[in-house]
Each structure stands twice: as C-alpha cells, then as structure tokens.
Structure 1
Amino acid sequence: MTTNDHEQLSHPQSTQSIDFSMVLASAVHDMKNSLGMLLNSLDELRQEQAETVGDSARFNTLQYEAERMHNDLVQLLGIYRLGENNLSAHVEEHFVPDFLAQQMARHTPLLEGMGIKLAIESDEINGFFDEDLLTGVLNNTINNAIRYTKSMIKLTAAMHDEFLVIGVEDDGNGYPENMQHNGTPSFKSLNFNNGSTGLGLFFASSVAQLHSNGDRHGYIKLHNDGRLSGGVFEIWLP
C-alpha cells in the first residue's frame, strides 16, 4: 500500500464532501412524514374507539404533543428552505370561510376531546395566499392556542386597509407585554436557551413577508384586544 493510498483510507472526507444541513433536512422530512401518518392513525383510533379514548386525558396529550412536533418539523423545513433561498409563496385565490373551516376541521377531534369550544367568524371574502404555507402557520398557532386557552378558540377573517387579516383568538391569559408587537422578528432574536424559542413566530412572520402586493408585504401582529379577552394572533396579507 502506498502512502497516498493510506492517506485516502484514513481521511475519507478528502474524497467525499457531506452537506450535513442537507442530511438533517432529509431526516426532518422523513420524521415529519412519519408523524403525519401517526396523526392519521390517532384520528382513526379516536373514531373507532370513541367511547374509550374520546375523553382520555392521556390520549389527548399524546395527540396534542404529536401535532406539536409535526408542526415544529414543518417549520424547521420551511426555515431551512428560507435559508437556502428556496422558499417562495405560490399565491392563488381562495374562499376564506372554506379555508378556515378546513383548518378547524383538522383540530376538531382533539378540541372536542379536550372540551374546548371552537368557532369561526369570517366575512364572505376571497383571499390571495399560499395555501400550504398559511396552513402551516395556522396549524402551529391553533396548537399554541389549545395549550393556553381556557375553554374556547375562534378563527376570524376580515379585510382591513386592503389587507386580508386572519386571526386566532383564545380566552386564556393573553400574550405577555414583551411579546405584543407588529412586524417581523429577526432570526438573531430567537432564544434557544429556554423552552420557548419563538421559532413559530419567526416562521409565521417569514411566511407573511413572502406575501407581497406592490411595495407592501405581509406581517404578523400579537395583542390581547380580542373579544375573548385572551391572546390574539393575526397575520396580515396584502
């Protein structure tokens, strides 16, 4: 064996470059798909064993946490694509009340199992947005509202100042003052040293920013001025 052969065997990285971020993205994609299948199975099990698991706190916790992990993985993939400049909004026209009904239907079994009331309050309007991206935002926001609400979650939609405003309201204790804001938080503002990184809000604001009309871009707004006296998440799309 020559010296050069020995060096190639000892240092395989010299002949093979590994893009670790792509490896992670591929793994996250596979985990997301697996969790999606798990969530479908949990929905089917809830239907088949309604009398047994319908009001089970442990089953509801299992489904809630699985949904939360699924949402986190969707966001991670979105942020990876954003960092690779490979995430864009494919805007199409949608009838907003029907879109909101689809989002609520996904969470209805869990909400009913946890005794949380749900409502939709939407004007009869059409909106222009990327359905998949906005679904990711609302799934995460509804999941957060489930965690903090006391008894009710409401989806709202209306036109304000030529923006389509879609909101998620709950009757919990509301957002703390330092979280109430308009606009887009920067990635550098995320805090990975505690249990709440703000990753979901960064993803939501990034999705909003991808929606534009002329020189206007979308943004998110957090406040406590809703009719349910709890937290209100709004995404404003031009």
Structure 2
Amino acid sequence: MSTNNHDTSAQLRQSQGIDFSMVLASAVHDMKNSLGMLLNSLDELRQEQGQSIGESPRFNTLQYEAERMHNDLVQLLGIYRLGENNLSAHIEEHFVPDFLSEHMARHTPLLDGLGIRLTIEADDINGFFDEDLLTGVLNNTINNALRYTKSRIKLTASEQQGFLVIGVEDDGDGYPENMQHSGTPSFKSLDFKSGSTSLGLFFASSVAQLHSEGNRHGFIKLHNDGPLVGGVFEIWLP
C-alpha cells in the first residue's frame, strides 16, 4: 500500500470514528460465544451417541481444536481488557478440591475419548482467587497438556511458603529448557512470527499478578521436576 493510500485510510477511519481495537474485541467476543455454543452441542452429541462417537478420532480432534480456539479467544479478550485497564480479580474463598473436581468433570468426556487419565491430588484447603480467571488459565493449561501428554495428566493443589500452588502435570517430554522459569514473561517478548507466541503463559502470568496480598503478587512457574517426569505448570497465588 502506498503512503497516500495509507494516509487516506487513516483519515477515513478517523472521520468515521472507527476504533478497530473495539471492533476486533467485539468480533472476538462473538466468536467466543459461538464456539461456546458449538462445544455445548458437541458435548450433547457425545452423550446422545455414546461410545460410537466417543471413540472417533475425528470427533475428538474436532472437540479438542474447538476447545483450544475457545480458550485462545478467552485469553485474547482478557489481554484486551488488561490493555484497557479493565481487567481485575474478584477474589472469593473457594474449597480447592471441589474447584478442581469441577474442572475434571468438564474435561472427562474428551479425556476418555482420547484415552488419557486425569487425576487430582489436592490438599483439603481453601483458596482466595477469582474463579473465572483461574478457570480460563486451567482450561488452557489442561488443553495444552492434552497436546503433549502420553497417557496421564494430574491436577495438584497445596500450600507452599504462604502461597496456594495449583499445578497441572503431564507425562510428556516436558518443557524445553528455555521455557523453564518463574515469573512473568513480557508482552514484548511474544513472537508472533514463529507461530509459538506463549500467549497462554502471558495470560496466566497476568492473572497471577492480579492476585496480591500486601507486597506479594502471584506468579507462574514452569519446570520438569514432577513425579510424572513431564512438564509441570504451576500458578502461585498469595
């Protein structure tokens, strides 16, 4: 596009009062809702057809990819709200084993279809966190673990050093060395040309940081030191 055409387009957008960030956010919101309806229909279809469709690799791939896209859109909306200073954590008390059991129930049909075993090892503790934000983080992390695990995924929860630590472990090949870290990746470090943006990690880190107590903020930790000998994702919340 020439400079003149670019200037004309900019003038046209300005004259029409078009805020493309808001337009894109609205479109992403609509797509997220449509994918949510699609996922509900897939769940109903799985229940209606039973084992015949539950063992179909094509059906399981369809549900997995739809879930992955839905999670990506949830993250994009969250990051947009973060950029607009409109994302905050609504902290409430939750019994952590029950919270994780709800996640297990949501993912069980797809896990069964893929032949992957999901277990929970959680202490009987309460945690203070934003349920919706943490749900978005765990949905993406579990979906990511589905891609790399061989046969097992484990959800864990414990109290360590005054933090609630919720983890997702798998028995895959683990995180590469350059991804193993604690803290928060910078948005400027995301590489949109490589096809691996780590957008989910940026979203998870942002959610963790929204949880604070005094001068302590949440953070994420990636390592390969779990008992399943695969990747371990942990979110630490004060």
Say yes or no: TM over 0.5: yes
1:112 aligns with 2:122: no
Unmatched runs of 5 consecutive residues or more in structure 1: 1-10
Q: How far apart are the structure 1 equivalents of 2:194 and 2:56?
A: 30
Post-superposition offset of 1:195: 2.2
Q: Which has the larger radius of gyration?
A: 1
The residue that corresponds to 1:23 in the other structure is: 23
Give runs of aligned pairs for residues 144-223 of structure 1, distance below 5 A. 144-223=144-223
TM-score by length of 1: 0.94
Q: How far apart are the structure 2 equivalents of 1:50 and 1:43?
A: 10
The residue that corresponds to 1:6 in the other structure is: none
Q: How far apart are the structure 1 equivalents of 2:233 and 2:14?
A: 50
SS for the counterpart of 1:121 is strand
Give runs of aligned pairs for residues 67-78 of structure 1, distance below 5 A. 67-78=67-78
- Code of the aligned partner of 1:80: Y
The residue that corresponds to 2:3 in the other structure is: none
Post-superposition offset of 1:116: 0.1
Q: Which moved more, 1:12-21 or 1:216-225?
A: 12-21
Post-superposition offset of 1:141: 0.1
Post-superposition offset of 1:16: 2.4
Q: How far apart are the structure 2 equivalents of 1:132 and 1:82?
A: 15
Post-superposition offset of 1:105: 1.1
**Are residues 170 and 216 of structure 1, via their aligned partners in 2, closer, same or farther at CA, if it must alter by over 3 Å?**
same
Post-superposition offset of 1:12: 5.8
- Code of the aligned partner of 2:128: F
The residue that corresponds to 2:50 in the other structure is: 50
SS for the counterpart of 1:66 is helix
Q: How far apart are the structure 1 equivalents of 2:139 and 2:15?
A: 43
- Code of the aligned partner of 1:220: I
Post-superposition offset of 1:194: 1.8
Q: How far apart are the structure 2 equivalents of 1:14 and 1:24?
A: 16
The residue that corresponds to 1:228 in the other structure is: 228
Q: Could you give the per-residue CA deviations for residues 100-122 of structure 1, whole angstroms, max 9, x where no partner exists?
A: 01111111000000000010000
Q: How far apart are the structure 1 equivalents of 2:14 and 2:38?
A: 40
Give runs of aligned pairs for residues 91-106 of structure 1, distance below 5 A. 91-106=91-106
Post-superposition offset of 1:171: 0.2
Q: How far apart are the structure 2 equivalents of 1:112 and 1:217?
A: 36
The residue that corresponds to 1:7 in the other structure is: none
Q: How far apart are the structure 2 equivalents of 1:14 and 1:227?
A: 57
Post-superposition offset of 1:128: 0.1
Between Structure 1 and Structure 2, how many residues are aligned?
Answer: 228
TM-score by length of 2: 0.94
Q: How far apart are the structure 2 equivalents of 1:127 and 1:114?
A: 31
- Code of the aligned partner of 1:40: N
Q: How far apart are the structure 2 equivalents of 1:20 and 1:97?
A: 42
- Code of the aligned partner of 2:207: V
Q: How far apart are the structure 2 equivalents of 1:61 and 1:209?
A: 33
The residue that corresponds to 1:85 in the other structure is: 85
SS for the counterpart of 1:175 is coil
Post-superposition offset of 1:50: 1.2
SS for the counterpart of 2:16 is coil
- Code of the aligned partner of 1:158: S
Runs of 4+ with >2 A deviation: 11-16
The residue that corresponds to 1:4 in the other structure is: none
